[in-house]
Structure formats: structure tokens, C-alpha cells
Amino acid sequence: MIFNREKNVKFVFLLPAVIFVLTLVIFPLVYSLRLSFCLARFGRNPIFIGLENYIDLLKDYKFWGTLKITLIFVLLTVSIEFFLGLTLALLFNREIRGRRYFRALLTLPMFATPVAIGYLGMTIFYEEAGPINNILALIGGPQKVPWLSNPTLAFASITLLDIWQWTPFCFVILLAGLQALPEQVYEAASLDGASGVQSLRYIILPLLGPVIVIVLLLRTVEAFKVFDIPFSLTGGGPGRATEFYSLFTYRTGLKYFNFGYASSLAYILLAIVILIITLFLKRVREVFE
């Protein structure tokens, strides 16, 4: 009797987590999937229209434009953040005076909220009297650079802010992976006369492979969902130059109240991310096997 009571207690403690997952994860997924096959607008009952939303989506130039911008952003930010993070991890994996303090300073941007960083970017990239333009003017550079009103520079500004915020994430994870490697590996490499580049290429990176995969996967998924910084910094402008996929989905669903179309946008993005991750993991298995 006591054994059965203890067994039932486990399920009681699991119940809040189960309720949370069902109400805030499973139900929204299933409901939004249903809406993606419907004509669903605010104040009207959903009308089933089959694949019409998906067909219209593939014909929509806005969809292809935002997808292109997002893919370029993901490729740029993830690759730069990874290489910067790896470089910093290799640097701080050595005995350096004040290493703890530098490490703490480098990780600070990671703890700031993206919206706050977006508003900070409005000050930094302010065209009339922002810090960057003032520094450029002092060193004889161009004055009043249109960071937020030029389409290319606005995209670059968002990219730089994202790199500044998320490079510390790659740095911390890769540094933890480096510090977990056994010392015997480095000793064996030095005894064999391997140079630093050879040790990195043939010993450290292969052993660090699982950590690298985790870092790239997590950053890729998060980069596809970028919303806060472009929303607070440029609002998708100038024009549609920085209207990323998530911002386009948000406007479609919560500004224009086209819930069915927005749901189809969300599921297309889910399919794209799953496809990219599947191809990436397949390639990783081929490399490590």
C-alpha cells in the first residue's frame, strides 16, 4: 500500500509539467496547424480552405523576400559568431593574467534582453550625433553615415548587434568544451612535434566536434527566430530591407489578423529549419564517420 502511494506521488509531481506542455506547447502547435488550412481572421469563424494558404504563400513575393533576408542573416551571423567564439575560446583557454575578469566582461552582452539591445542600437547608430558617427568624424571619416536609413547599412547594423550579443554564447560553450579535453591530448601533440595549427586541425577540432555541432545547431535555430532587435531598431525598415521572416509572420498574424496565413508561414519556417538541421546532421555524420 505504501509502495503504491509513493508511486502515485511521482505522477502528482509530474502533473504541473505535463499540464504546462499540453497547454502551452502541444495545444498551440495543433491549433495553429489547423488554422494553417483555414481562412481565419479576427472576429470570424475559421473556414477550411485546404492548401490555399500554402499555395498563396509560395506565390507571395514578400515571403520570398523575407526568407532571402533571413537566410543571409543566419549564414552571416552564425558563421561569424562561431569563428569569433572559437578564437576567443582558444585564447582564453591559456593562462592569461586577469582571465576571469576578461571572461566575465565578454559574457555580459549575452545577459541583456534583445529589445534593450535594439534600443541601445538606436543610440549607437544615431545618424545625427551617435557615438559611431562622432568617432568617424573625429578620425576624419565620413560624417552622418545613414546607418538606419540605408537598406544595406540597416541590415549590417542588426547583424553587428546580433554578433555582439551572441558571440559570448559560442565562446562560453566552446571554452567549456576545450577545458573538458584531457591534458594528455595536448602533451601527446607537443611530443609528436605538431604545430599549433596542426594540433587545432587534427586533434582539437575533431575532439570538439560534438560541442561544435551543438553550438551551430542552437545558434542556427535561434538566428532563424530573430525578432526583437529588428523590431525595436528598424521596425523592418527602411522599406522592407530588414523585415525578417519572424517579423513578417508577426505582422501578418497580429497586425493584419490573418491568422491562417500567419500559421502557414510559421509551419513553412518549421519545415525549412528541420530540413536544414537534417541535412547538417547528415553531413556531420559523414565527416566524423
Helix or strand (DSSP H, E) at 266: helix 259-288
**Partners of residue 258 on adjacent β-strands:** 41
| Cβ neighbours of residue 155 closer than 8 Å, sequence gap 6 or more | 69, 73, 241, 242
Report in angstroms the alpha-carbon separations of 15 from 8, 11, 19: 11, 6, 6
What per-residue confidence (pLDDT) applies to 82? 95
What per-residue confidence (pLDDT) applies to 271? 93
Q: Give pLDDT tens digits for 116-169.
A: 899 899 999 988 878 888 888 888 777 788 899 999 999 999 999 999 999 999
Q: Give pLDDT tens digits for 209-220.
A: 889 999 999 999
What per-residue confidence (pLDDT) applies to 192? 66
What per-residue confidence (pLDDT) applies to 266? 93
Note the Cα 231 to chain centre separation in Å.
Answer: 15
Task: Determine the average pLDDT of the residues in 260-283.
Answer: 91
d(CA 30, CA 204): 43
Q: Give pLDDT tens digits for 10-65.
A: 777 788 888 988 888 889 889 999 999 999 888 788 889 989 999 999 999 999 99
Helix or strand (DSSP H, E) at 226: none
Q: What is the CA radius of gyration of the chain?
A: 24
Task: Determine the average pLDDT of the residues in 178-201.
Answer: 73
Region for 98 from its dihedrals, namely left if φ exceeds 0, alpha if ψ lies in -120 to 50, beta otherwise: left
| Cβ neighbours of residue 150 closer than 8 Å, sequence gap 6 or more | 238
Domains and CATH numbers, the chain: 36-288 (1.10.3720.10)
What per-residue confidence (pLDDT) applies to 65? 93
Which grid cell sits at 160?
A: 553587428
Q: Are strands 38-39 and 47-48 parallel, antiparallel or unpaired?
A: antiparallel
Name the percent of the chain lying above pLDDT 70.
93
Q: Give pLDDT tens digits for 80-94.
A: 999 999 999 988 887
